Amino acid sequence: MPLYDCMLLVKAHVTKEMITDLVGRVGKRVYQRKGVITDIKSFGTLELGYGIKKRDGRHFQGRLMQMTMMVPPTFNKELQYLNKEDRLLRWLVIKHRSDIVYGVEKMNDDDGSDDFRMFRDYKKVESDEDDDEEEEDDGEVVVE
C-alpha cells in the first residue's frame, strides 16, 4: 500500500476535542480499509494568505493537521465526505513518491563536483573603464 499525507485545515475556533473527533473518524475509515496511520502532526494555528469564505463568514486563520497513512489508492474517493464537514476549511491528500529525493537529503547526496560546471565556458568580464570615457564624448551638445 502506498504512503499518503492527508492535510486538514480546520477552522481556528474549533476545539481540540472536535479536531480529535474528526481525526478519529478519518482513522476509523483507514482502519476499515486495512490501512495504517503512521504519523499525526499538528502545526498549530496559522495565518492564511487570504480569507477562505464559508457559510459562517470569511476565515483568516486555521489549524493545520497532517496525517501520514498507508492506504489503498482508492481511499481518496472515500474521503469525499469531508467536503460536507462544517469544521474544515480545506483538505488535501498527497501521495509520497519513493523515487524523488527532497530537501536536505538531495543536498547531502551531492558531492559538489558539478556545482559550477555550467559557468566554465564564460570568460572573465573586463573592466568598464573604457566604456565610461566613450559615453562622456557622446554626451556633448554642439551648438552652431
CB atoms within 10 A of CB 123: 5
The predicted pLDDT at position 114 comes to: 57
Order of all β-strands in the sheet with 88-95: 36-54, 57-70, 3-11, 88-95
Residues ≥6 apart with Cβ < 8 Å to 18: 87
Q: What fold characterizes domain 1-134?
A: Alpha-Beta Plaits (3.30.70)
The predicted pLDDT at position 76 comes to: 87
Element containing residue 138 per DSSP (H, E): helix 129-138
Closest listed residue to residue 64, CA positions, set 89, 36, 38: 89
3-state secondary structure of 96: coil
- pTM for the full model? 0.65
Q: Would you kindly state where each structural domain of the chain is located, as residue ranges?
A: 1-134
- For the chain, which residues score pLDDT lower than 70? 99-144
DSSP-assigned beta bridge partners for residue 6? 67, 93
